[in-house]
Amino acid sequence: MRRRRLAQDRAARAGHATHEPTTDGAGAPASFVSFELLPPELRTDDRFDAVFDVGPETAPQARPHARTGRRSAADASSRGPYGEETRPASPPEGAPPAGTGTPHVPPRGSDQEGVPRRAWYAHPVPWVAVGVAAALAGSVAFTASMEDARPVDVTALPGGLRPLDEPPEPRWTVPVEPGTELVPAVGAVVTVDGGLTGHAVEDGSVLWRSEFLGDRATCLPAPGAPAREVVVCAVPTGWREQVARMVTVRSATGEVLGDRTVETAGRLSVVPIGAADVVRAWWRGDEVALVREDAATGEVRWERALEHDGLGRGSDVVLDVRRGVVDVLAPGVAAALTEDGRSLVEDDVWTIVRLQDGRYVGNEYGRGTATVFTAAGEPAFRVEGRVLEAPLSDGSAPGVLVTNTFGSIVGVDAATGSELWSLPGTGVRAVARVDGRVVVQTDSTYRSVDARTGEEAWAVELDDDGPGPVLTDGRSIYVTERSRGGPGLVSIALDDGAVEWRWALPEDTFHVVAVEGRLFLLGADRLTAVS
């Protein structure tokens, strides 16, 4: 009995000590120790690994006493690491135990003298087996939940939709002036036709109107950008649009929050950023001044100056803020900055986006390589091809970058840059990443590729790609298609690529826009909300 118990104890200790679970970050180089494949709020590796990292010497030893449920200090000190009783060396044969005047009597129920028999529930092996089985089951469930988790709700992104009817139907239609534009806003549907008009989301009724701002007013955000609680309109007033009146309005009520005069450098030199800020550019001597400020009050968040070579001074400066990066472009000036004003690149034209983990990745114009930057904006490594980062992404499979190497679609380890898989074919752009699958587009063909394995799930070819953006509700993607009967909206299932329905768009529709999960169609003389 004793030999069997000792053998079982040794097996339990060996099995416990040799378990070495791996994590997603294993194998990454030292320079990327801080890189996490999932956002911090989803990582629980420290708690998960703790289940396996507790050795026998640190495991809790206390076990309830058979009668009282508690143990005295003396009782605790008389037991070994696995709960067996320990006693001093046996006295000579025939002598009574130390401190007694009576012969020693073996405990009742023992196999031999001085060695008590333990009940099955007092033995460590069954409990170790139960603990390991529970931990393994938990690890499977944990891994599955991590793979299936969506760090980002795609319906909240620009281009994200609530589920549509099959096929959709118009909910309401209101007349608009020719040339009217739609501004993504929170709490109302806002149109621009020289002035601002707020419509009720439920039925299109007019909630408020602003004063007439002028035919040259540029109001932001632009279609396709995130909806905001404020609308900012820049109305040029100076020569060559070097000065503008900036009006800031609360989108839900039409309340004017700010009305001030600012320096600008063209109609595209003011762009919204964050919840209520703008980035603004203007010429200041031989440099381009760049500032992030509160749209209503002008309170400065940061300011930068970009050197200019003197050629093209006074020309328009084009700003763009998308996916965590501020792009600046003008004759003799090119730069990309983070939203807090740190420089990523200067003097070259790049397309850079922020990754889910806070780092950045970008393609340099005219080159066949892409660069991954740290969260601090420092170049980390290069990969072959052009990175295909989808604007509609739920953040799934963040450990894999997908690139187009102009002959293959390649999966790249986002921590090291090493190639994981390669799939023949090309993809001009990625339009969506949902549940670990990346949908890439080439002309009018859409392909779904598993970012983790490189397996192609499906491919769909349409008659002719339409002008509208690609939208998604997380279950399907919606694309516009030109056909003989006119433009239409096509629903493609993300699971298997099945064409679920086609819906003919109303005549003269020239804008298909998603705002706060709702679909709107802007035509030559009407605005339509779609179910």
Integer CA distances (angstroms), 89 to 73, 86, 92, 93, 223, in order: 21, 10, 9, 12, 87
State residue 21's pLDDT score: 33
For the stretch 207-234, pLDDT in tens is: 999 999 998 999 999 988 899 999 999 9
Q: Is residue 55 part of a domain?
A: yes
Residue 26 burial (10 A CB sphere; 0-12, 13-18, 19+): exposed
Same domain, 405 and 450: yes
State residue 227's pLDDT score: 93
The residue written with tokens 């203007």 in the block is: 282
The larger pLDDT score, comparing residue 518 to residue 16, is at 518
Residue 437 has pLDDT above 90, yes or no: yes
Cα separation of 81 and 60, whole Å?
10
Domain encompassing residue 116: 2-21+29-93+107-149
Residue 470 burial (10 A CB sphere; 0-12, 13-18, 19+): buried
Same domain, 119 and 198: no
State residue 150's pLDDT score: 54
Q: Taking Cα atoms as reference points, which of 67, 65, 66 lies closest to residue 76? A: 65
Highest mean pLDDT among 123-127, 152-156, 506-510: 506-510
Other residues' Cβ atoms within 10 Å of the Cβ of residue 101: 6
Same domain, 212 and 247: yes
Same domain, 78 and 178: no
**The total number of structural domains that make up the chain:** 2
State residue 105's pLDDT score: 43
Same domain, 432 and 304: yes
For the stretch 290-299, pLDDT in tens is: 999 999 999 9
Cα separation of 113 and 107, whole Å?
7
Is residue 285 very low, low, confident or very high in pLDDT (cuts 50, 70, 90)? confident
Cα separation of 28 and 38, whole Å?
15
pTM of the model: 0.70
State residue 513's pLDDT score: 92
State residue 241's pLDDT score: 78
CATH of the domain at 290: 2.130.10
State residue 436's pLDDT score: 94
Whether the CB-CB separation of 239 and 287 falls below 8 Å is answered with: no
State residue 311's pLDDT score: 67
For the stretch 358-416, pLDDT in tens is: 999 999 988 889 999 999 999 999 999 999 999 999 899 999 999 999 899 999 999 99
Is residue 487 very low, low, confident or very high in pLDDT (cuts 50, 70, 90)? confident
Same domain, 139 and 224: no
Q: Is residue 433 part of a domain?
A: yes
Determine the Cα angle at 521 with ends 438 and 203, to 5°.
Answer: 120
Report strand pairing: 392-393 vs 429-434: parallel
For the stretch 21-75, pLDDT in tens is: 333 333 333 333 333 333 333 333 332 233 333 333 333 343 343 333 334 334 4
List, in sequence order, every beta strand (DSSP E) within 48-192: 170-175, 181-183, 189-192
Q: Is residue 102 part of a domain?
A: no
Q: Indicate the Cα dihedral angle 162, 168, 170, 171, nearest 10°.
A: -40
Residue 104 has pLDDT above 50, yes or no: no
Q: Taking Cα atoms as reference points, which of 351, 350, 358, 497 lies closest to residue 414? A: 358
State residue 234's pLDDT score: 95
- Joined together, the tokens standing for residue 371 give 């660069």
Strand partners, 133: none
Q: Is residue 101 part of a domain?
A: no
Integer CA distances (angstroms), 471 to 64, 239, 246, 257, 468, in order: 61, 40, 32, 32, 9
Residue 74 identity (one-letter amino acid): A
The larger pLDDT score, comparing residue 41 to residue 267, is at 267
- Joined together, the tokens standing for residue 492 give 């493609």
Query: Considering the chain, what percentage of its residues have pLDDT values greater than 90?
Result: 55
Integer CA distances (angstroms), 467 to 24, 151, 341, 444, 470, in order: 40, 30, 34, 11, 9
- Joined together, the tokens standing for residue 172 give 């309401």
Per-residue pLDDT, averaged over 124-148, amounts to 42
State residue 303's pLDDT score: 97
Residue 199 has pLDDT above 70, yes or no: yes
Same domain, 179 and 125: no
- CB-side neighbour CA atoms (13 Å) of 134: 7
Per-residue pLDDT, averaged over 116-130, amounts to 47
Residue 317 has pLDDT above 80, yes or no: yes
Same domain, 145 and 161: no
